[in-house]
A = this chain, B = another copy of it.
């Protein structure tokens, strides 16, 4: 566990908030690449993302020096570097727990596999669902979680079970060695510190927005179609 060389204490401990922005940078760089843009400055990238150029430069400086003074960043190169930093230069195999409406929608979702996240096993505790096949994946009993996760070397799980079952299933996943959980259940999971959890909760997002709407005058008409 070596730390802080004499010269540069870079990569010492990178703020989580910086990590969370990298995927956004990567996504935008990928679009720029599609648009055949070869070089982008922090100013241009910032304008596209609505963040300050300084923030982009500072964020990237945690990981290295990827730009050219007077020029900017080579899109293809920077994208490759960020993808490597995030560990996106490989395919990740995931387990899905919970195959209700939501779980089935997740299995059908193209966005995951397009970005290198493949659901390779699905689990449920409802005997009516166990044994069925969805999107080419067979639904197994959650009792088989330990064996399958170990055999497949799965490190990421998607939780799509009812709120009341989420913590228990998360406990099982942690015990099986899963190190990252994408949680669709509307509850705060308790996991050991080395296990990462992210929530997907559209309702919470809506509820934070209505705070701002409630004080607004109720929009009724479109007073002037100035467009």
Contacts and interface: CB of A to CB of B under 8 A. Distances in A.
Contacts of A214: 86-87
Contact of A219 (B179, B203, B216): B179
A128 interface: no
Number of copies: 2
Given A155-B216, A221-B150, A202 B111 contact: yes
A21 to B, nearest CB: 9
Interface of A: 1, 19-20, 22-24, 26-28, 31, 48-50, 85-88, 92, 101-102, 105, 108-112, 115, 117, 146, 150, 153, 155-156, 163, 175-177, 179-180, 182, 186-188, 190, 196, 198-200, 202-216, 218-222, 225, 227
23 contacts: A1-B215, A19-B212, A27-B204, A48-B188, A50-B190, A87-B211, A111-B202, A111-B203, A112-B202, A112-B206, A115-B203, A115-B206, A117-B206, A155-B213, A156-B213, A175-B222, A177-B222, A179-B219, A180-B206, A180-B209, A180-B210, A198-B208, A199-B205
